[in-house]
Structure 1
Amino acid sequence: MDSFELFDYGIGDPDITKGDGIYSRYLTTVTTAGHYWLTISANDNNGSAKVLYGGNSKSMPKNPNHHQYCCGSYISEYGAAPTEKFMRQVNYGSFFVTNDKVNKDIYPPNRIVDFRVMQVDQQSKQVLLVWTSPGDDYDKGQATSYFIKYFDKRGDVFNRFNEDVGKIVDIWNINGPPLVPEIYGTEQKVLVDLHNSHQDKIFYFGIQGVDKAGNRGTVSNIVAVFFSSKPVSPTVSHSISLNSTVSSSTQDPATDKKLKMNKGGLSTGNITLIVSLIVLLLIIILVLLVFLCKRKSKNKKLRSQSSNKPSKIKKDAVDNVDSGYGFEEEGCVKETLLSPVNPSPADVVV
């Protein structure tokens, strides 16, 4: 009798969603033809098993990095309750194997389906790639090496990956220690340096796991990276290292909630800019108020001086004509000019 453990990792191949209670695994240990029976055993896993309630949105798969419910998605444990201690066993059924297994390794590593880009440095033309390691025989053991390539055309990743097309990421493109596969289910990352790419262009990356017999897994999902030819200011660019923090796609709901709050809020730079603009506006308003107050005070002072000064009245010949048809000014009598507006009697004219 042979036994093996089932996983609810949610990596994507073979398990789709973490925490949904569906456990998956490849069966690779059958080597001879015959009739086989499957028996499944389940227990509370030392009190860590939980029950999910309902089918509402709170118990649906959650994932901040993926839109589809696959390959890194997980079920939130919101409202979940611990189970009682239990032990169950079910006879699943039987199957036939018609031929003995050939005496060679025929199982390749499982497909990597959570291949993703975590960071891109436009100044140094470096990209940080992350994925979950495959096994040697599908999801069992660990692969021997990786085969990473990038292409100019998206379609070539799937259709021509094993042809002499595209460019291989070798040791000269890796910034850091040599890339060595870990045991199945381990998160791995590599910093790829493409410093010769000085043009506006999109590169499409793919990866395969390779086992010790040379079997290659199915090509992973495709990731795209854009490199700009425009120079990037060093103050804007951030250098990338393998020690950079990589957020897990299976983070807990509390962290997911904080992530969403940070995305929806303002950054420190934006808050500083807004506060600076408000302070500047208040200073301008204060200066205008001081200027207006000083101008009002000056006008009031001028009006006060004008009201205290004796007024000098000009005397006009037309308005100030005396009975002798002249007017006095400082003890003198001056003639009044004749005009149509100021006519004189006939005896004066004669």
Structure 2
Amino acid sequence: MGRPALLHEPLRPLHQKFFIHAWAQFRWGVFHEYGEPGENPFYFSVKYGRPEAIRCVFYMRGLVSMKNGSICLPPGSIDQKTGLYFDYCAWRPYPYNQRIQASMMDYQFIKEITKFCEDDERNQQTLHNYECPSRHNRLCEHKSTWDVISHTGDFAGGKNPPRNMVESELVPQFRVIKATSRKKRIPSSAPAKNYQKELFTRLDTHVVEADTGSSYVELFVHVMQGFMPVVGMKVMATINDPLAQQTTMVLYDNGAGIDMTKGDGIYSRAYTNLYLPGRYQVTARVENASDTFVLDSVVDDFDIPWKSKTIKRSIHTPTVRQLTGYFFDITRAEDLSSAKDVIPPSRISDLHVVEISKANKTAILSWTAPGDNLDDDKVDHYELFSGVNIDDVRKLLSVTNKHSHPMHRSIRTNIVPSRVTFGFQENYFWKAPPDQVDFHGKLHYAIVIRGVDSVGNAGKLSNIVTFSLS
């Protein structure tokens, strides 16, 4: 639900639920659990063997229909190249009379939704849908929102347990602070005259953030015009180390590496050359390119968030901004000066299926390439794990993380060569192993991938993709 939507009078009762939705994003780091604009709102469920709509709780009820209200029914409404519904089909959940209670990160405008999704399999009303490719699943390793929230500092270790609150406890308390008396001010260009006053100037330094165990520093530049993100900018960061040696690097807004979301105006990069103790100074330079524009999203249909329209306003006037005065300190460089490579490739979070061929039993997979050290250079190769008849995709993550997949007969491993450097698209033509068929003769697959560098450091497993070749 976008910012303009909050101004509509009929939606006023939904404001409190939208506030919780937004608060969870900014406070606890969870993400939307519905389809995102520009992405396919459907996926193939390996558990149920059919195309489904992206949603947090599987048992949320709704209709797959066209804009004119006609129902989309398989197989006539299924695109054979993807195995999913055609683009003209949309899933519309029922706004009332639902049998579920979650999730606040999904369609929070639904009357019955009052909770976050969780892992309790005894409660189908709040059980998290682990296999759908929502942004939350892609970025949070397919964990439920409550699993992520409950491990934050606000709730970990039994903090802030649920309790019943009376009305008086829900009324916010405000305190107004103001100066108690006038203060005299002396301008720096004051004329020569006897003043019975003392003039002091001082620079206060505040520690914004401290990390005692990281082998790299994350750099972020947020480019906005008002409240709207500016995309397509050329953003450069120059780092001066304690010996005044300069390193200049490009920051990206491509949703890869340490950059969480593509096209949100936040440009990111990891700096890994932390070999000296002392102060590192950072300067950022921002300038517009030929394809620079401002994004402004407008939601026209609250039932289908992924159908929101995106308005682009080009910036034609030459624009240059420079940020100075930023720095960070390294105090334990002796732990970082080893020549041993300990930094793995970044996690792939946008693995997706471009096209399938049931006749040839193949699939074209695509993802944004990670780097050797997070988002620098290129990986040595990829490990691709494919599972068939996986009724719970978490098993695929669990088995491959424990390196026990050779013992698991339903999981196969492919070594995929690396072709491009960080930030470019990798494509791989995958063919189903002839012996990897489940007990019912179906070909329903779940696949994950990870990058591996030249010394064997492996990145985290990617998001899961699912499809059928039967």
Q: TM-score scaled to structure 2, two decimals?
A: 0.40
SS of structure 2 residue aligned to 1:157: helix
- Correspondence for 1:155: 394
Q: Does 1:35 align with 2:279?
A: yes
Whole-Å separation in 2 of the counterparts to 1:49 and 1:128:
29
1:149 Cα offset (Å): 0.7
Query: Between Structure 1 and Structure 2, whose CA radius of gyration is higher?
Result: 1
1:224-271 deviation line (CA, Å, top 9, x unaligned): 12232xxxxxxxxxxxxxxxxxxxxxxxxxxxxxxxxxxxxxxxxxxx
- Correspondence for 2:248: 4
- Correspondence for 1:192: 430
Q: Does 1:52 align with 2:294?
A: yes
- Among residues 74, 88, 109, which one is paired with 2:345 in the alignment? 109
- Among residues 329, 333, 336, which one is paired with 1:99 in the alignment? 333
Whole-Å separation in 2 of the counterparts to 1:125 and 1:226:
9
- Among residues 459, 462, 465, which one is paired with 1:217 in the alignment? 459
SS of structure 1 residue aligned to 2:397: helix
1:79-132 deviation line (CA, Å, top 9, x unaligned): 232233435232223333423312200111111111111112112211111111
- Among residues 106, 119, 139, which one is paired with 2:355 in the alignment? 119
> What are the within-5 Å matches in structure 2 for residues 316-335 of structure 1?
none
Amino acid in the other structure paired with 2:287? N
Whole-Å separation in 2 of the counterparts to 1:132 and 1:185:
6
Whole-Å separation in 2 of the counterparts to 1:181 and 1:36:
34
- Correspondence for 2:368: 132
Unaligned runs of 5+ in 1: 59-65, 70-74, 172-177, 229-350
Q: Does 1:84 align with 2:305?
A: no
1:10 Cα offset (Å): 2.0
**Residues 256, 349 of structure 2: 8 Å contact kept:** yes
Whole-Å separation in 1 of the counterparts to 2:351 and 2:467:
13
- Correspondence for 1:23: 267
More strand by share: 2
Would the alpha carbon gap of residues 122 and 129 (structure 1) be closer, same or farther in structure 2, given more than 3 Å must change?
A: same
1:183-229 deviation line (CA, Å, top 9, x unaligned): 1112111111113445214221010100001000110000112232x
Whole-Å separation in 1 of the counterparts to 2:377 and 2:314:
32
Whole-Å separation in 2 of the counterparts to 1:49 and 1:132:
21
Whole-Å separation in 2 of the counterparts to 1:2 and 1:68:
45
Unaligned runs of 5+ in 2: 1-244, 300-304
Whole-Å separation in 1 of the counterparts to 2:449 and 2:260:
19
Would the alpha carbon gap of residues 214 and 77 (structure 1) be closer, same or farther in structure 2, given more than 3 Å must change?
A: farther
Tell me the percent identity: 24
Would the alpha carbon gap of residues 49 and 150 (structure 1) be closer, same or farther in structure 2, given more than 3 Å must change?
A: closer
| Aligned-residue CA RMSD (Å) | 2.9
1:19 Cα offset (Å): 3.7
How many residues of Structure 1 are paired with residues of Structure 2 in the alignment?
A: 207
1:32-90 deviation line (CA, Å, top 9, x unaligned): 22222222222345xx374527x5428xxxxxxx9699xxxxx9562232233435232
SS of structure 2 residue aligned to 1:148: strand
> What are the within-5 Å matches in structure 2 for residues 273-292 of structure 1?
none
Whole-Å separation in 2 of the counterparts to 1:68 and 1:211:
39
